[in-house]
Chains A and B, each alone.
Chain A
Amino acid sequence: MTTDAVARARGRVGKPAALLEVRSLSKRFGEVQANWDVDLTVLPGTVHGLIGENGAGKSTLLKMIYGVYTPDEGRMFVDGAPVSPGSPADARALGIGMVFQDLRLVPALTVAENIALALPDGPTLRLARLAARIAEASEAYGLAVDPSAKVRHLSIGERQRAEILKVLMTGARLVILDEPTSVLAPQEVEALFGVVAQLRDQGLGVVLVTHKLGEVRTIADQVTVLRGGQVILNAEDPGNFSDAELVEAMVGRRVPPLAVERVAVPPREQAVLELQGATALGDRGHVALKGVDLEVYPGELVGVAGVAGSGQKELCEVALGLRPVTSGAVRVGESVHGLTGAVAVPEDPVVDSVVPGLTVLEHMVLDGRAVPRRGLGIDWPAVGARTAVLDERVGLHMAPAKRTLSSLSGGNIQRVLLTRELGQDASLVVAAYPSRGLDVANTRRTQELLLEHRARGAGVLMVSEDLDELIAVADRIAVMHDGHLVGVVDTAGADRMSIGRLMLGGVA
């Protein structure tokens, strides 16, 4: 057959054959229509941005493409031929590779061993030969990793590179990246996009999920917007739309810009939180927090920047009294401006705050506050009414009260916890990655909630990996590296690249 005949057989003379074509895919989970009549076309040599609110159905769509879920309806074509991957292994055989947001690497194994897991190749591991192949592929794709390093000792960015390399070495021609940038420092995002651009130049197709419009503009050739499981914009050129238009497509309404009134630095009275040389051990017994000095004053929002795992988690837990210090001191002000107590959003809500089998409503009484009672039991109708008022006031629009948390998407779980914690008054607010996994509108609302706490006179400590977010809302930014507090930067006049250098252990 000539090339022409092949093209004609595929019925698309003149156009490059789509790497992946999805037609009218639908998927229902119980009462939730997660995807409805979704079309998606990914061309070779392009980066396809996929954006949408939390629960819009992005992950569901990708998991159907990767064979994790089976679609209820619809068809899929790879290189024009109909396919129906029933498992990730099927999808990989078709040249589809996926990098999950939480990755699928084994921390205790080396990079080479992790890659060996994906490459069925003889009964023995022949690690030396494999290391040579890895080095060759690293070179070809510009993904530097040390094959003999244990994944546990790699930074998040390095882990991501290892996972992408693994996916490419299994022969993927379509690489799906589900929210890869939400855990990276700015420099690492740049490096990742360098790799993505190189893959595109080599003719691969890349699907990239993100909540950040700036990233779509930087790297995506086409953008598809999902809302409520349906396609709102299909493979459009992002250059043809303004930010406001894209946000409106995602959210279904206009979102006004964040109004931060920069109150003059309030008089430094008694600190709400005071750490002096705080040193603490991490979960694996290593020193994770090394002599940190930090004060948070009433009416102040202190941001904490750092690459994941630099001691932020331990800092928050020490501030809240959840983790003992091995040396140094922690003092929490009793009350300021009539406010008392602390509220917190943990770094990993699914592990630290969520009971998967309980409903949204049941989570609303798990915060230790007094609960309306009827006899010895809980007065659930009263809790329901209280929760409705709270949800209205907080404005993050939680999932229906009867849904169990195990059935919610990551962003929706986060919204339940944020509503519960940020909906009550406190003198100290500790929020770790509050907007992680949230869409544009909810990120905005969460930032407003934190600013409202600050305006009421609370001291707010906020950890985030999104420097733009910290620069937008924080009064001061404390930068952490390897357990040390390497610098406290005044946000006025802060420069993201120099903060990024501090985060990576350099000098500003």
Chain B
Amino acid sequence: MKPEQDYKWRDFERGYVITEPGSSREYHTGDWRSQRPIFDKERCIKCGVCWIFCPDCAIRFDAEGYAEMDLDYCKGCGICSRECLPGAITMVDEEG
């Protein structure tokens, strides 16, 4: 899909239907972040709670089963950090 600012009014599909599945991946909600999650592998028990709670589906698991935050989409809400029982996720301010 082309960048949104290039859309002219005639360019939409009828009813704003999106015919390319998964186009929301092109929108990086990570740009909104003012805090970032810092992950501590030592504390993670691979319970998956953060994955359930993340409202942006920004958490996946690496090959070993540890949580991993995708900073392209993590908007820094801090929910994972709050819900992680062993305290494996700490929020820190973004620089600048």
Q: Check if A and B associate.
A: no
